[in-house]
A and B are shown apart, each in its own frame.
Chain A
């Protein structure tokens, strides 16, 4: 009764499931087909009326929504700090809603730029991604102003963009439209303030009160045009000073060339410094040489002339408390940011000169021409020997460590040579694992196919050998084919386990011991005879 009920119930469920699935698929396919037909008719109608469709270079809202929201959520989930995680998750939802309703409200297409900017902004806010504006972003706002965007977000969702984000977007937007070129600092370090200190204070490590000019920081300096393109100098580099410390060795990956970023270019500084969110104290306050204070907004383009003429000694007059978080800087340790000096004159060489910036109002080539290659610089200064005391590096390591590493690797290589030779000889004679198995299998199959009945005895022998090879002493099962008399079966076919007997196991162990001893002795005698034969011949 129960079995019948269960069977009926399962059959019913299965039938309903199949019916539902079939119906659902049918409806879905019908809807899809219908939608395609209707859309094609509409498109044909418009085309016949001379209205052409131009697919705008816009974003697939749905996918962008998913990508950005997922990306931010992923970032958020990896954050340990709950104070950052919560708001970030909320922001992910906001962004999803914004994308969904953007064109409903504004009637404009969704500019990808904004979403990309937001994405990176969110990443930087979370502290897990370096703050930067991707150089490949096309700053094309499609008629939407960033201010309008911010207002829209604020009014529609009741979500107030905080002052930081508003400044970031607004400053980036407005400044990009007003300058020819901008300089963007991109940092992959966790604290961009270090980057800034290294740029303007020439790698003076304030925490440890020492110079560390050759620390292998992965800084990135990117110059981009106001249209968002990045014509050159989109490079990674380390702060590596030349032997006499007059310039930065700068590797430009886009040109695969090493430059000496020196001060032979007359420039007006314009630098957009986008700091990691929440860590921008270093930009809060700058002090002019005459000790007046300049407030620099977060994310704003910094015109260095705002806080001092570069040719002046910007930091010589700075008191130690002028830079946030920095105390007790000895005056002698300040460096002078002095462009326009001639490297040929020794007296003009100042340790650790750093110049960042690109010319405004000049052609790009002028700036390129202002750069000399690292080799040219080395020639110019006479290629002085490397001063290891200043921490010259090889592949980012101090030279002593590099030498030790190299020596160690040479010794290791020498020690590995005998083993390598042995491996090579073994490889010459010892076939790879599984080779024999596959080879004999292939050979057996080939001969069986070709020789047919002639190969039958050999096949029989191979089967017998295989049976012996697979024989297991512990298994004493004997197959008994059965006994038949006419049509009557007297004994059925069966496997007989001999170990089930009381005497067989005892007999087996005794026989094994005796035969093993005999076999071993036989092999020893054979070996002795063979040895005699070999030695005598």
Chain B
């Protein structure tokens, strides 16, 4: 509930901040080239799958992100817990 509320708050702030902004899209030609490049990248994923087990990577990647950012995550959780009065965490 807390995380949902915070994220919704962030979303509302973004909507408020960006409300006067509306930048144009990429030109069609550029977009076509980018799409082609993307398709090549995506195709390359298939080739990389020969050398790397994507299933293992999909499991380990979140774990690595958590370990690397452990301090920030810890601070974030404690920040939220401190807001709950009856827990008494200082």
Q: Are A519 and B60 in contact (CB under 8 A)?
A: yes
Q: Are B50 and A498 in contact (CB under 8 A)?
A: yes
Q: Are A508 and B50 in contact (CB under 8 A)?
A: yes
Known: A446-B14, A451-B23, A468-B54. A460 touches B64 (CB 8 A): no
How many Å from the CB of B24 to the closest CB on chain A? 5
Kindly state whether residue A454 has any CB partner on chain B within 8 Å.
yes
Kindly state whether residue B70 has any CB partner on chain A within 8 Å.
yes
Q: Are A511 and B22 in contact (CB under 8 A)?
A: no
Chain A positions within 8 Å of B25 at CB level: 452-453
Interface residues of A in 426-465 (CB under 8 A from B): 427-432, 435, 439, 442-443, 446-447, 449-454, 456, 460, 463-464
Partner of B1, one of A427, A467, A519, A534: A427
Partner of B11, one of A443, A467, A498, A511: A443
Tally B residues with Cβ within 8 Å of A: 46
Kindly state whether residue A45 has any CB partner on chain B within 8 Å.
no
Per the bound structure, the CA–CA distance linking A468 and B48 in Å amounts to: 10
Interface residues of A, dominant DSSP: helix
Known: A453-B23, A473-B55. A431 touches B4 (CB 8 A): yes
Q: Are B53 and A450 in contact (CB under 8 A)?
A: no
Q: CB-nearest residue of chain A relative to B51?
A: A511
Chain B positions within 8 Å of A427 at CB level: 1
Kindly state whether residue A105 has any CB partner on chain B within 8 Å.
no
How many Å from the CB of A457 to the closest CB on chain B? 9
Kindly state whether residue A78 has any CB partner on chain B within 8 Å.
no
Per the bound structure, the CA–CA distance linking A188 and B86 in Å amounts to: 54
Kindly state whether residue B57 has any CB partner on chain A within 8 Å.
yes
Partner of A469, one of B22, B39, B58, B64: B58
* B14-29 near A? 1/0 per residue, CB < 8 Å: 1100100111111000
Kindly state whether residue B49 has any CB partner on chain A within 8 Å.
yes
Partner of A526, one of B21, B34, B38, B67: B67
Interface centre among A435, A450, A530 (most CB of B within 10 A): A450
Known: A429-B3, A463-B42, A464-B41. A452 touches B60 (CB 8 A): no
Chain B positions within 8 Å of A527 at CB level: 67
Chain A positions within 8 Å of B52 at CB level: 511-512, 515
Kindly state whether residue B45 has any CB partner on chain A within 8 Å.
yes
Kindly state whether residue B56 has any CB partner on chain A within 8 Å.
yes
Chain A positions within 8 Å of B64 at CB level: 523, 526
Q: Are A467 and B55 in contact (CB under 8 A)?
A: no
Known: A507-B50, A534-B70. A454 touches B23 (CB 8 A): yes
Known: A450-B21, A530-B70. A473 touches B15 (CB 8 A): no
16 contacts between A and B (CB under 8 A): A435-B4, A439-B7, A439-B8, A446-B15, A450-B22, A451-B21, A456-B26, A456-B31, A464-B42, A468-B45, A471-B46, A471-B54, A477-B46, A479-B46, A526-B68, A530-B68
Supply 5 further A-B pairs (C-beta < 8 A) apart from A427-B1, A456-B34.
A429-B2, A453-B26, A468-B57, A472-B54, A478-B43
